[in-house]
Chains A and B, each alone.
Chain A
Amino acid sequence: MSEPPISRGFKGRKRQDVPSGRVPPGQHLTSDFPVLSAGPTPRPQLHSWSLALHKGGSLLGKWSREEFGALAQTEVTVDIHCVTTWSKLDTHWRGVTIDALLKAAGLDAPPTAYVMIHCDGGYATNVPVEDLINGKAMVATHYEGQPLTPEHGGPARLLVPHLYFWKSAKWVRRLRFTEADEPGFWESLGYHMYGDPWREQRYAGD
């Protein structure tokens, strides 16, 4: 590609404000935690909330809120990157890793290579299994030591910090294992199937 045109007079932020190696191309840092959702915030009844693993028509595992809280809890501090170009460093989360969920469901290995994440409100997103296991992802219930607020996906959201944040689906209820990599909500609307921020995979074809 040819050189991009210089935006006359544009200087941008001081370069030293950006820690090297932690902000992917095209991203900028924010200290806020912006909210982006396509529809109203769902507010499920906590007593009837559950998280389930499915493959085809069969249920592989299901946990009530209490049962979920009794599973092994993991804390992580990670950087997150939204496709709308903000990144946020050193965010702190607590939840249950996908490894722990598979183990709790009695599965030695993931049954297929892909997962469709289904959420309250109808949202869905696809993630390869290998991006969910080996400590790479969790179902998070706490952010910065507090229960996740509804706007940010509470009671529980997926956290896959190494992919663009639309993959970290809010209000997660069901992980459905699939044989093929099927597009989810934004992926059907032209966003990238995988969404690696370091390769700037924002939209289909990137």
Chain B
Amino acid sequence: MPETEGVAGGSGRLRWLTAEVIALIEETPRAKSLVLNIPGWSGHRAGQHVDVRLTAEDGYQAQRSYSIASAPEDRHVMLTVDRIEEGEVSPYLTNDVQVGDHFELRGPIGGYFVWTAAAGGPLLLVAGGSGIAPLMAMLRHRALANIDVPAVLLYSSRTYEDIIYREELDGLAAKADGLRVVHTLTRGHPEGWRGETRRIDHAMLASAGMVAAERPRIFICGPTPLVEQAARSLLELGHQPDLIKTERFGPTGS
């Protein structure tokens, strides 16, 4: 099926590495980016994720998966974590972690939900909330690799303040190199807002997306209802199922 290879290039065990937090970026009131220095890191492709493992003083451990938001070309790995209030790991990563702290991770993981410049385009990206993270890795890769394949990002956020990477996305779109960014806000919008103001639906994908004849490579990442709706609408619009790759996350208590 896919034109991809294994988790770690196939050479032996995926080892746990120790990451050092070298910067923290407050993306939104709920989301924080952690910039990591990871000795021994083998590099990644845009769209892949890592498993993070935290260890408490009594030896208790908790593991969760987080998408990599940085491009392969970036010097450091960035994870963007959305705080789930009743969660176990995300409140720690977004509230408690400080620059200089360490935790374990291993990766990169996942060889399917991946886009490389070599794979070409056009590219149709659909994101909901923190589902933007692996798609941002693709857009950063597209920019840093100077690939001007046509690309559309349709990005659903709750409110204006909840838009992750807002200024950077504005900057990427302003380069006018074939990237179009369409925002939609589902729970209120500021005065003068010119983007969309409802959940992603068939009509929005028909107007904002690309036509099936262009055969875009499609990546959808977000909460399950958004992914189900978007994938279904895109099939109805004539896109081929094997060009649609999805990554879903539910409220898994992370």
Q: Quick check: is B224 within 8 A (CB to CB) of the other chain? A: yes
Q: Are A190 and B111 in contact (CB under 8 A)?
A: yes
Q: Quick check: is A191 within 8 A (CB to CB) of the other chain? A: yes
Q: Are A5 and B60 in contact (CB under 8 A)?
A: no
Q: Are B232 and A41 in contact (CB under 8 A)?
A: yes
Which of A1, A12, A29, A42 has the most chain B CB atoms closer than 10 A to its own CB? A12
B15-71 residues at the A interface, CB under 8 angstroms: 16, 18, 51, 53-57, 60-65
Q: Quick check: is B206 within 8 A (CB to CB) of the other chain? A: no
Evaluate whether A34 and B224 lie within 8 angstroms (CB atoms) in the complex, with A13-B88, A40-B232 already known. yes
B-chain residues with CB within 8 Å of residue A32 when the two chains form the complex? 250-253
B234-254 residues at the A interface, CB under 8 angstroms: 234-235, 241-242, 244-246, 248-253
User: What's the minimum C-beta distance from A59 to chain B, rounded to whole angstroms?
Assistant: 24
Q: Quick check: is A6 within 8 A (CB to CB) of the other chain? A: yes
CA distance A42 to B109 in the complex (A): 25
Q: Quick check: is B169 within 8 A (CB to CB) of the other chain? A: no
Evaluate whether A122 and B1 lie within 8 angstroms (CB atoms) in the complex, with A9-B92, A26-B61, A151-B228 already known. yes
User: What's the minimum C-beta distance from A11 to chain B, rounded to whole angstroms?
Assistant: 6
B-chain residues with CB within 8 Å of residue A86 when the two chains form the complex? 252-253
Q: Mark A8-52, 1 if CB is under 8 A from B, else 0.
A: 111111010000000001111111111111111110000000000
Interface size on A, residues (CB 8 A): 46
Q: Are A203 and B250 in contact (CB under 8 A)?
A: no
B8 CB contact (under 8 Å) in A10, A36, A42, A190: A190
Q: Which chain B residue has the least Cβ–Cβ distance from A43?
A: B232
Q: Quick check: is A145 within 8 A (CB to CB) of the other chain? A: no
CA distance A33 to B109 in the complex (A): 22
Q: Are B252 and A30 in contact (CB under 8 A)?
A: yes
| Chain A interface, >50% SS class | loop
Q: Quick check: is B199 within 8 A (CB to CB) of the other chain? A: no
Evaluate whether A12 and B60 lie within 8 angstroms (CB atoms) in the complex, with A40-B234, A41-B232, A203-B109 already known. yes
A-chain residues with CB within 8 Å of residue B18 when the two chains form the complex? 5
B252 CB contact (under 8 Å) in A7, A41, A84: A84
User: What's the minimum C-beta distance from B246 to chain A, rounded to whole angstroms?
Assistant: 6
Evaluate whether A12 and B88 lie within 8 angstroms (CB atoms) in the complex, with A7-B54, A34-B224 already known. yes
CA distance A26 to B105 in the complex (A): 13
User: What's the minimum C-beta distance from A79 to chain B, rounded to whole angstroms?
Assistant: 16
B-chain residues with CB within 8 Å of residue A5 when the two chains form the complex? 18, 55, 102-104
Q: Quick check: is A74 within 8 A (CB to CB) of the other chain? A: no
B110 CB contact (under 8 Å) in A37, A41, A189: A189
Q: Are B63 and A85 in contact (CB under 8 A)?
A: yes
CA distance A174 to B14 in the complex (A): 32
Q: Which chain A residue has the least Cβ–Cβ distance from B2?
A: A189
Q: Which chain A residue has the least Cβ–Cβ distance from B111?
A: A189
CA distance A30 to B104 in the complex (A): 23
B7 CB contact (under 8 Å) in A7, A9, A29, A191: A191
Q: Quick check: is B163 within 8 A (CB to CB) of the other chain? A: no
A-chain residues with CB within 8 Å of residue B244 when the two chains form the complex? 39-40
Q: Quick check: is B155 within 8 A (CB to CB) of the other chain? A: no
Q: Are B65 and A85 in contact (CB under 8 A)?
A: yes
User: What's the minimum C-beta distance from A68 to chain B, rounded to whole angstroms?
Assistant: 25
Q: Are A39 and B245 in contact (CB under 8 A)?
A: yes
Q: Are A34 and B250 in contact (CB under 8 A)?
A: yes
User: What's the minimum C-beta distance from B40 to chain A, rounded to whole angstroms?
Assistant: 14
List 8 contacting pairs A-B, 8 Å CB cutoff, sorted by A: A5-B55, A10-B54, A10-B96, A12-B88, A15-B60, A86-B252, A189-B6, A204-B8
A interface residues, Cβ below 8 angstroms from B: 1, 4-13, 15, 25-42, 84-86, 121-122, 151, 185, 188-191, 202-206
6 shortest interchain CB distances as A-B pairs: A190-B7, A205-B13, A190-B6, A34-B250, A40-B231, A189-B111
